[in-house]
Amino acid sequence: MSRNSQDSAPWPDGAVIYQIYPRSFRDCDGDGIGDLKGVAEKLDYVASLGVDGVWLSPFFTSPMRDFGYDVADYCDVDPVFGTLADFDALIDKAHGHGLKIIIDQVYSHTSNDHPWFQESRRDRTNAKADWYVWADPKPDGSPPNNWMSVFGGVSWEWDARRGQYYLHNFLASQPDLNVHNKDVQDALLDVTRFWLDRGVDGFRLDALNFAMHDPQLRDNPPAKRGKRKATRPFDFQEHRHNQSHADIPKFLERIRAVTDEYRNIFTVAEVVGPRPLEEMKAFTAGERHLTTAYNFDFLYADELTPEQIRTSLSGWPGGEDEALPAWAFSNHDAPRCVTRWAEGADRAQAAKLYLLLLMALRGHVFIYEGEELGLPQADVPFEALQDPEAIANWPETLGRDGARTPMPWETSAKNAGFSDGGPWLPMDKRHPALAVDAQEKDKTSVLHFAREAIALRRRSPALRAGAIRFLDAPQGVLAFTRQDEDESLLCVFNLGRSEQGWTPDKTPLSKLRLSAGPVSKKGGAYTLPVLSGFIAG
């Protein structure tokens, strides 16, 4: 389903972007792993959702120890996903549907299989000797400082060839690039140009605040005891020195200068850490940095409350030089939102509510594959786990594999139509019944509702880029208006587990545009069942 120019909303104002995790989307060659041909095959479906673009998780050459976030060649496709020709065909088909393509770029680290690292580790005098973060041991042979890895253990790995440690904020097989080095920046900018020349429309910059470290290698202080988590040593520190260096925005200015050579390029920063709002503002300020920053406020939240949403959105009031933020409720790194927030409730009803709320937020929004089907987090037994973080922290965390299981396309097909071979992660037994073909036949399904919600946002200037104003509401109810010069909308959501009544104060009541659940209105009052909501205007 293509969209003609008259139906095209301004890009990227308030864009709706669909995230595809290629390993799990559609497998065309029967090896049990999704591929680029599979993504291209299903672009008709993606376009039918009404989204503006697609974010593709990594498909680059990689040993896959962290499933593509350990890049061994930035400018080629890993054979498991296909070829550069497959990527070019995907770009052409996406653009034919009016879809933008955004790809991941991992500029903070590479795989230890990358030729850059292989040269850098050879000795201390080669041309790339300073392309990674190397440091001598302490006199007793221990690592240079106390920094801890996100995935467990210390952040330093000994390399006998250089007689030094190298830094890795993630796996030991993911050495950190020294992005302070201008030659490294130049090489990364060449990568940026390579993909822009192939027609991509933007980039998600992974783990961006890990891209630069404190050159003095000072120890991190301990975290305040009340904030400590028992799962990972990483959480026992305040990460003042291994990430979030003040020079990162200067590098982003160089990236922006390159993307400005092309037309309407969308860039989004991934920022996780102790000061995300401060960093996101710095990474997106004005016209010299990135388009937006990917917000994690909701991705790891165990519950969703009106207070939390008001607090998160109030950090982005729309001031001078302020970018539009970007929001997501689910992705490949976080347990699916219907499991985190609505366990024990009506899953389909909750999924519709969260989709409607996401479409009403001020900023850009990301939908993760299967979110439009209301998929719950998959159960993956320990023996089937693939994610190194999940294996290391089992059973204390849900891990990432449960959000990465195969997409169900056909209820009755082998592996629900994902692959003719054995899938790399098992299909959850609950997912085939929620497959695309089953939901296409059911006009009351989450899928049909998702299309309606996206279409409402797409044709509404107020939802895409208008101002937001929060209203007083009962406990558990979130209410706000979205408004631009020509349109005013009322958005109300009962996020709680009990029915609520609400009568707006000095807010004109209008016709319902779309409701999630059997919302009713009598006189000036609304009745909101559990996990229901509406947009009126």
Task: Name the pairing type of β-strands 202-205 and 100-105.
Answer: parallel
For the chain, first and last CA: distance in Å?
A: 29
CA distance 288 to 260: 9
Q: What is the dihedral of CA 19, 351, 427, 418, to 10 degrees?
A: -50
Task: Name the pairing type of β-strands 100-105 and 73-77.
Answer: unpaired
What are phi and psi for residue 295, nearest 5 degrees?
-90, 130
Catalytic residue among 27, 206, 279, 428: 206
261 catalytic residue (yes or no): yes
Nearest to 291 by CA among 235, 252, 338: 252
What are phi and psi for residue 320, nearest 5 degrees?
-60, 135
Question: Cβ of 159: how many Cβ atoms within 10 Å?
Answer: 17
Nearest to 67 by CA among 120, 118, 104, 119: 104
Strand 134-135: give its sheet, edge to edge. Answer: 134-135, 164-167, 156-159
242 burial level (CB within 10 Å; 0-12, 13-18, 19+): buried
C-alpha distances in Å from residue 279, one per residue of 128, 253, 314, 328, 459: 29, 14, 16, 18, 32
206 catalytic residue (yes or no): yes
Locus of tokens 């995300």: 276
Q: In this structure, what DSSP letter does residue 331 have?
A: B
Question: Cβ of 169: how many Cβ atoms within 10 Å?
Answer: 24
Side-chain-side CA neighbours of residue 361 (13 Å):
28
Query: Which residues lie across from 135 on neighbouring strands?
Result: 165
Please give the helix or strand (H or E) that residue 281 lies within, else none. Answer: helix 276-284
Q: In this structure, what DSSP letter does residue 135 have?
A: E
What are phi and psi for residue 483, nearest 5 degrees?
-145, 140
Put residue 370 in one of left, alpha, beta given phi > 0 → left and psi -120 to 50 → alpha.
left
Nearest to 74 by CA among 192, 217, 168: 192
Question: Cβ of 506: how many Cβ atoms within 10 Å?
Answer: 5
Cβ distance 110 to 175 under 8 Å?
Answer: yes
Put residue 116 in one of left, alpha, beta given phi > 0 → left and psi -120 to 50 → alpha.
alpha
Residues with a known catalytic role: 206, 261
